[in-house]
Structure 1
Amino acid sequence: MRRWLICLFMLLISLIAVSANAENWPAPDWSINTAPKTPALERLEAYAFPPRDDVERKGVRTDALLVIRDGQVIYERYAGETSAATAHLTWSISKSVMATVLGVASGQGRFQLDDPVAKFYKPMAEHPDIKLRDLLHWASGLDWQEDYEYAPLNSSVVAMLYTLGRSDMARFTAQHPRGSMPGIWFSYSSGDSNLLSAALKGMVGEQAYADYPWTALFDPLGVRGAVWETDAAGTFVGSSYAYMTARDLARVGLLMQRRGRWNDRQLLPEAWVKFVLTPFAGLNIHPGVEIPGGQWWLNHTWDGAHGPWPDAPRDTFAALGHWGQALYVIPSAGLVIVRYADDRDGSYDHDQLLKLALAAFGQRKGQ
């Protein structure tokens, strides 16, 4: 009897240990383990949610801040017109989401990184040496000006999104002349990202394309509220126009944090995750600026140096968008952070928010 009780006790201890180490997955929704209010959390909130000035529309203006640690919601707050149900405009976070969709297509064998873009998108026949790998690195070599409202008359991206190119954004980009050799220089380009979106249509076929982000990525992740605008040619605006709730976007972050695995399924090939999170060794990357991977931004350089966010671990990576949109992933801390915003004056600082978030939430349970 005593031996039986000892065995039962050991079994219970084993089950408790397994349960404590079990991974949390949001199925169908996130589990919640709210972090306690601390001075560190109050400092984070003071930075992220200062009083708004609706007249001048300046300063840090956070619409949503969601923090996931080890697969659980530990902090969530919304402001302005944004709520947990709001599919918020992600702006250039869309680029990283499209790269994730392409990762699924890669795992299905639909393309190779060194395939020419023209294989899947015929208007690129004028540029037969530009490869998919080059587009993913924002290194097509096409002559492109990524200026926004500060220089609208010279801006390729403003023309693409709002004037000359708005009906067929990929074709507009493909018509740009060569500025440099492909694959050599990093030059941030929303046009490159929309060429990737057009190439995806050629990979999967016109009929499957309209639902492909959902069937390939959103549905397996349990993303329920995503909207993705297309241009008049029916091509997803992969550079800019995906809309997602904060909780839905966090699912993409958790997928990437866990190296492409979702529950017991390897949704993205590990080789794909490694590729997009490897710094591009373009020769014109300067210290202090965001380090490009494959349509993601990294916190370390190709030669191992620390990246632009010194108060965050080197393994931090992010999807970033205009006016302060951000999806941060910090694997070593088990953190996924979604920030939606309406910043207008450039005062928001990625490193400052990461520093404050790590102070408030960086310690895992038991550490």
Structure 2
Amino acid sequence: MRTALITLLFLILPPAWADESELQTYAFPPRNDQTREGIRTDALLIIQDGRIVFEHYSAPTNTDTPHLTWSISKSVLATVLGVAYGEGRFKLDDPAAKFYPPMQAHPQVRIQDLLHWASGLDWQEDYEYAPLKSSVVAMLYTSGRDDMAGFTAAHGVAAAPGQRFLYSCGDSNVLSAALRQMVGAEAYANYPWQALFEPLGIRHAVWERDAQGTFVGSSYLYMTARELAQIGQLMLDDGRWQGRQLLPAEWVKFNRQPFDSPVEPGEAMPGGHWWLNHANAWPDAPADTFAALGHWGQALYVIPRQRLVIVRYADDRDGSFQHNTLLRHVVAAFPGERP
């Protein structure tokens, strides 16, 4: 019954005054897929005040397609961890080694350091453009693929933990491995579903695991656009879902609190495994905008000021797509209730 109610809620028509033309033109331009150049949006879903106001797909993606989210997986992992946090299974200042023994080599690294991508471990987050020395390529595809958290824990130290932001898929996979001991080995395989997905009515999610049975929390979660939007709506509503406080409000506040570490000009600020607009990374979006972002243009944006949740699935292989440009078109088309 809950799923049916959610689907009905999402079928309400958009406001009659919304002007979507520039948004549609930007997100779904004509494209030659053979060259893989330019913007390729597979899905764009916009929810305002809990109802769909824009939804468009490019074949073969449709409403029922679980799409690869890439690094959006990290933010969903943080949301799953938020349920465990609310159950009292860990504290932010707990050492990671308490829940994942291979991290005993790094006893000062805390759970909150991993959530800030600030473990201090020596890590190279380079992708297909610089694969030879890339820690993440080795973790996902070669020497580390059978035990991704163990591969990460075996790295040396580049900085003191908690002092410097260094984006790392490895940090996320250590968190995913730690979750197993937090909730117990027997419960772990179903925990994301039992704790988060089923209460939200999510039915299509697929989360790949490595050979150790650890969820690839950095990268390999698949969800439909509507399902991912429900994660965004949960975060927009400070952890409440249909009258239930599914996430502690203090956890959502932590996710949205910037980690005090320098970032490159124009880059979003890291929060607790989410990205924040505090450094004016997206100048045409409100300052309270936050997001989960993934490789090749995947994005889940939340704009509290305008009660907006935006899901974009894509396959962008160059630099054509710009987060700020899309957000500018969205906030112009859906500014909220008109006087």
Q: What band does the TM-score fall into relative to the shorter chain?
A: over 0.9
1:340 counterpart residue number = 313
Take 1:221 and 1:183, find their aligned partners in 2: how far apart are those partners?
33
Match for residue 123 of structure 2? 144
Q: State how far apart, in whole Å, the 1-side matches of 2:326 and 2:140 are.
A: 30
- Deviation track 1:140-198 (CA, whole Å, cap 9, x = no partner) reads 00000000000000100000000000001000000000111000000000000000000
User: Which of 35, 40, 43 lines up with 1:64 in the alignment?
Assistant: 43
CA contact (8 A) 1:40 1:356 kept: no
Partner of 1:198: 177
Work out the CA distance in 2 between the residues paired with 1:356 and 1:211.
Answer: 39
State the secondary structure of the residue aligned to 1:27: helix
Distance, in Å, in 2 between the alignment partners of 1:298 and 1:77 is: 26
Q: Deviations over 1:302-351 (max 9, x none)?
A: xxxxx200000011000000000000000110100000000000210000
Please tell me whether the aligned partners of residues 65 and 337 of structure 1 are also in contact (alpha carbons under 8 angstroms): yes
2: distance between equivalents of 1:49 and 1:352?
A: 13
What does 1:87-126 correspond to in 2, within 5 Å? Answer: 87-126=66-105
Contact 2:177-2:215 at 8 Å conserved across structures: yes
What is the match of residue 142 of structure 2?
Answer: 163
Question: 2: distance between equivalents of 1:39 and 1:330?
Answer: 17
Cα deviation for residue 35 of structure 1 reads: 2.4
- Mapped to 1, the partners of 2:12 and 2:288 lie a distance apart of 24
**Ranges in structure 1 where 5+ consecutive residues have no aligned partner:** 1-24, 302-306
- Which residue in the other structure is 2:336 paired with? 363
Paired position in structure 1 for 2:277 = 299
Q: Does 1:286 align with 2:264?
A: yes
The residue identity in structure 2 corresponding to 1:160 is: M
The offset of 1:28, in angstroms, is 3.6
Residue 52 of structure 2 aligns with which residue? 73
| Counterpart amino acid of residue 336 in structure 1 | V
CA contact (8 A) 2:18 2:334 kept: no
- Contact (CA 8 Å) 2:70, 2:219: kept in 1 or not? yes
Structure 1 match to 2:297: 324
What are structure 2's unaligned runs of at least 5 residues?
Answer: none
Distance 1:36 1:332, change over 3 A: closer
Q: Specify the alignment match of 1:15 in structure 2.
A: none
After TM superposition, give the deviation of residue 202 of structure 1 in Å: 1.0
- 1:207 and 2:186 equivalent? yes
**Amino acid of the residue matched to residue 269 of structure 2?**
I
Whether the 8 Å contact between 1:118 and 1:124 is mirrored in structure 2 is yes
Give the structure 2 partner of residue 183 of structure 1.
Answer: 162
1:246 & 1:263 partners in 2: Cα distance? 20
TM-score by length of 2: 0.97
Distance 1:252 1:39 in 2: 24
Q: How far is the alpha carbon of 1:88 from its aligned partner?
A: 0.2
Structure 1 residues 333 and 294: CA distance shift in structure 2, 3 A: same
SS of the equivalent of 2:47 reads strand
Matched, 1:350 2:329: no
Preserved CA contact (<8 Å) 2:44 2:311: yes
Task: Check if 1:314 corresponds to 2:314.
Answer: no
Judging changes above 3 Å, is the alpha-carbon distance between structure 1 residues 26 and 47 closer, same or farther for their aligned structure 2 residues?
farther
SS at match of 1:141: coil
Pairwise CA distance, 1:39: 8.3
**How far 1:33 moved relative to its partner?**
2.7
Q: Is the 8 A contact 1:35 1:361 kept in 2?
A: no
**Which residue is equivalent to 1:19?**
none
Once the two structures are TM-superposed, the CA of residue 36 in structure 1 deviates from its matched residue by 5.5
Cα RMSD (Å) of the superposition? 1.4
- Partner Cα separation in structure 1 for residue 235 and residue 16 of structure 2: 28
Matched residue, 2:34: 55
3-state DSSP class of the match of 1:152? coil
- Do the aligned partners of 1:27 and 1:222 also contact (CA within 8 Å) in 2? no
The structure having more radius of gyration, on CA atoms, is 1
